[in-house]
Chain A
Amino acid sequence: AQSVSQHNHHVILSEAASLELGCNYSYGGTVNLFWYVQYPGQHLQLLLKYFSGDPLVKGIKGFEAEFIKSKFSFNLRKPSVQWSDTAEYFCAVNAGAGNNRKLIWGLGTSLAVNP
């Protein structure tokens, strides 16, 4: 079955530290990849997405993610985190063919940035 795995469930960083959150998926066909963020008490919002082309995707607020097809990975990175990046981060993969195409979600990673 298709699945999305986020390896880090809880991450604690100090401001200015670099961030990398792992995301791996299991599906051999064409995928669309997403990272969503949920700030405390707020709605889920799209951080960045990959459809095709350049595997290095830039998103909002200085985030980026790299699609490595051979590793079935789509890790999220930010060179220098801020306290305001404290949030829950979800990786999602749109996989399947035709009407069976589904958006599959990871469990999420809780990021706490200490000032």
Chain B
Amino acid sequence: ETGVTQTPRHLVMGMTNKKSLKCEQHLGHNAMYWYKQSAKKPLELMFVYSLEERVENNSVPSRFSPECPNSSHLFLHLHTLQPEDSALYLCASSQEWATTNYGYTFGSGTRLTVV
């Protein structure tokens, strides 16, 4: 275990479904991130939360909706996804946002398949 826990590990959903991905960290980190990892593409930063405030939203479609109720939990709510949204979604945390001098701690990811 890395200290960052993601659930579920695998998710298959239809294009009309609504589901949520969950991320939890108890490392005392102040920043949390959602990344999308697709084959043959660099890791894509989706959202950044620092001290529970969204500080970055990298032109992500509105069918992805993040939520950070407290500094230990991060959600990614999904609705009306497209097949091209199938990917590995990674959650990460770091002590502070923007400096990230200590690197990120990643979760194991949720493998999402949209059918």
Contact = CB atoms under 8 A, between A and B. Distances in A.
Interface of A: 4, 32, 34, 36, 42-46, 49, 51, 90, 94, 98-99, 101-108
A94 to B, nearest CB: 5
Interface of B: 2, 4, 40-43, 45, 55, 90, 92, 98-109
B42 A105 contact: yes
A103 B100 CA distance: 8
A49 B103 CA distance: 8
Interchain residue pairs A-B with the least CB separation, the first 9: A44-B106, A105-B43, A43-B108, A46-B103, A105-B42, A101-B98, A43-B106, A43-B2, A107-B42
A96 B107 CA distance: 25
A102 B101 contact: no
B107 A43 contact: yes
A94 B100 contact: yes
B35 to A, nearest CB: 9
A34 B106 contact: no
A2 to B, nearest CB: 12
A88 B101 CA distance: 22
B106 A101 contact: no
Contacts of A43: 2, 4, 90, 106-109
A11 to B, nearest CB: 16
A42 B41 CA distance: 18
A46 B107 CA distance: 12
B104 A32 contact: no
Given A43-B2, A43-B106, A44-B106, 12 more contacts: A4-B42, A43-B107, A43-B109, A44-B90, A44-B92, A46-B103, A51-B101, A94-B100, A94-B101, A99-B98, A101-B100, A108-B42
